[in-house]
């Protein structure tokens, strides 16, 4: 990720020695927006290769990063994760430590995972990612109470209140409407647990060489918190199922609902969604886009107020998430003006009597599943249905 804090080679060598790593060279990693990261080449590595990733966490306190180390050890063996190396001097202590400190900021060293970040995601990759996220949710249920392992959720409402003061009125209204719709959901009825909350494609690694894409790494567990599972699903869908155009392509935002269906199929192969999760997913998709819209605005705010500049600082365009939020919100509003009619299927081509009328597609599909192949679903506007 972006490099904010600078270290000398002597400092790198001393820290690496504490983890049992023989330091030769540090190579900055410039992707991302929150922490300072370097690849570490050891004295045993060939030129151009490296074995470890050295991370200095700019915002999270060391106690949070120790929790992250426990989480990664819980997932190891079930998912492709890189667990932090232990601090050698702590082996004789009652509790194994995985964190060193620099100016009260946490430092970890983890083994490099094979693979590359994908620039385009296929439906098959989305399906595999859905299954992996469900395994993550199920596996972390064994860490109890979950609140002892997750870090506090970021106070996004504070960021919202600050940023909405400077937004054009239409953008502020979009954000406010989505936030209110989310607040009106029956949130207490939705299952929750430890969630990743930042599973973007650039936090995953894949073997893309064989033509049969294979997930080889899940990265950046700094945001693991207790949250609704459907929020984690929405965050991951928003990136994996969207094609983001670059600057030369007009920075387009193209959401692929076929990929979303593949993702959900993969997820439900490991953990079936509740009916309430299916019904609320469209609003969670919009709220998730708002959160990352605010995150990018927040990064710009802190870069400006703390004087962060230079080629090592990467800023992602907040407008892309704003456009994705608007896309999802338009679909939510459309659903409010539509009904889904379940019709009895009389033959191969015709639909007959009305079985039921539903306010959303998930409810209609749930009823259809009980009837098997003897029914069809038709979407109509309210005016059409009344006529």
Segment 6-19, tens digit of pLDDT:
899 999 999 999 99
pTM (predicted TM-score): 0.78
| SS3 category, 2 | coil
User: For position 386, what pLDDT does the model report?
Assistant: 44
Residue numbers of the domain that contains 361: 338-386
Assigned domain for 224 exists: yes
| Relative orientation angle of helices 123-139 and 62-75, to the nearest 10 degrees | 110
Assigned domain for 3 exists: no
Q: Are residues 82 and 148 in the same domain?
A: no
Q: Are residues 207 and 287 in the same domain?
A: yes
DSSP secondary structure string, 213-250?
-EEEEE---TT-EEEEHHHHHHHHHHHHTEEEP-GGGT
The domain boundary, picked from 88, 111, 134, lies at 111
Q: Examine the pLDDT at 288 and tell me if it is beyond 60.
A: yes
Q: Are residues 102 and 150 in the same domain?
A: no
Q: Say which CATH number the domain at 277 has.
A: 3.90.1200.10
β 23-29/192-195 pair status = unpaired
| SS3 category, 321 | helix
Assigned domain for 1 exists: no
Q: Are residues 332 and 346 in the same domain?
A: no
Tell me the average pLDDT of the chain: 89
Q: Are residues 287 and 224 in the same domain?
A: yes
> Does a cis peptide bond (omega within 30 degrees of 0) precede residue 145?
yes
pLDDT digits (tens, 9 = 90+) for 165-185: 999 999 999 999 999 999 999
Q: Are residues 269 and 349 in the same domain?
A: no
Q: Are residues 206 and 310 in the same domain?
A: yes
Q: Examine the pLDDT at 211 and tell me if it is beyond 90.
A: no
Assigned domain for 117 exists: no
Sequence-ordered alpha helix ranges (H) in the chain: 9-18, 62-75, 123-139, 156-164, 169-183, 229-240, 257-268, 275-305, 318-336, 361-371, 382-386
Place of tokens 């970890």: 108
User: For position 376, what pLDDT does the model report?
Assistant: 83
Residue 364: band (very low, low, confident or very high) from pLDDT cuts 50, 70, 90? confident
Q: Which residue has the higher pLDDT, 240 or 33?
A: 240
User: For position 339, what pLDDT does the model report?
Assistant: 72
Assigned domain for 379 exists: yes
CA 216/CA 63 separation, integer angstroms: 28
Q: Are residues 239 and 316 in the same domain?
A: yes
CA 23 vs CA 54, 100, 106, 141: distances in Å: 11, 16, 19, 37
Q: Are residues 48 and 170 in the same domain?
A: no
Q: Are residues 143 and 231 in the same domain?
A: yes
Domain count, the chain: 3
Q: Are residues 102 and 249 in the same domain?
A: no
Mean pLDDT value of segment 96-103: 91
Q: Examine the pLDDT at 366 and tell me if it is beyond 90.
A: no
């Amino acid at each position: 990720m972006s490099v904010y804090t600078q270290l000398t080679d002597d400092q790198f060598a001393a820290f690496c020695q504490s983890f049992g790593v023989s330091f030769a060279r540090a190579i900055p990693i410039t992707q991302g927006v929150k922490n300072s990261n370097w690849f570490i080449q050891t004295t045993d590595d060939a030129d151009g290769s490296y074995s470890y990733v050295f991370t200095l966490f700019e915002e999270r306190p060391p106690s949070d990063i120790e929790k992250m180390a426990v989480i990664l050890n819980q997932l190891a063996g079930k998912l492709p994760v890189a667990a932090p190396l232990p601090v050698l001097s702590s082996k004789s202590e009652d509790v194994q430590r995985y964190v060193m400190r620099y100016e009260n900021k946490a430092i970890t060293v983890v083994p490099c995972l094979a693979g590359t970040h994908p620039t385009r995601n296929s439906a098959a990759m989305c399906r595999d990612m859905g299954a992996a996220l469900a395994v993550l949710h199920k596996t972390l249920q064994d860490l109890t109470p979950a609140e002892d392992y997750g870090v506090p959720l970021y106070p996004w409402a504070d960021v919202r209140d600050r940023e909405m003061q400077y937004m054009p009125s239409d953008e502020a209204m979009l954000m406010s409407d989505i936030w209110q719709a989310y607040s009106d959901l029956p949130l207490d009825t939705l299952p929750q647990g430890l969630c990743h909350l930042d599973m973007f494609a650039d936090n995953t690694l894949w073997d893309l060489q064989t033509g049969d894409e294979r997930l080889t790494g899940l990265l950046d567990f700094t945001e693991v918190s207790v949250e609704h599972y459907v929020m984690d699903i929405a965050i991951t869908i928003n990136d994996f199922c969207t094609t983001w155009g670059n600057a030369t392509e007009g920075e387009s935002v193209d959401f692929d609902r076929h990929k979303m269906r593949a993702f959900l199929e993969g997820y439900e192969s490991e953990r079936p969604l509740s009916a309430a999760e299916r019904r609320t997913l469209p609003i969670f998709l919009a709220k998730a886009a708002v959160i990352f819209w605010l995150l990018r605005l927040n990064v710009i705010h802190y870069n400006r107020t703390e004087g962060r500049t230079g080629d090592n600082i990467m800023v992602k365009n907040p407008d892309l998430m704003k456009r994705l939020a608007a896309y999802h919100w338009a679909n939510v509003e459309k659903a409010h003006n539509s009904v889904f009619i379940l019709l009895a299927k009389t033959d191969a081509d015709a639909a007959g009597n009305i079985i039921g009328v539903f306010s959303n597609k998930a409810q209609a599909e749930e009823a259809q599943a009980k009837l098997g192949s003897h029914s069809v679903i038709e979407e109509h506007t309210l005016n059409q249905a009344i006529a």
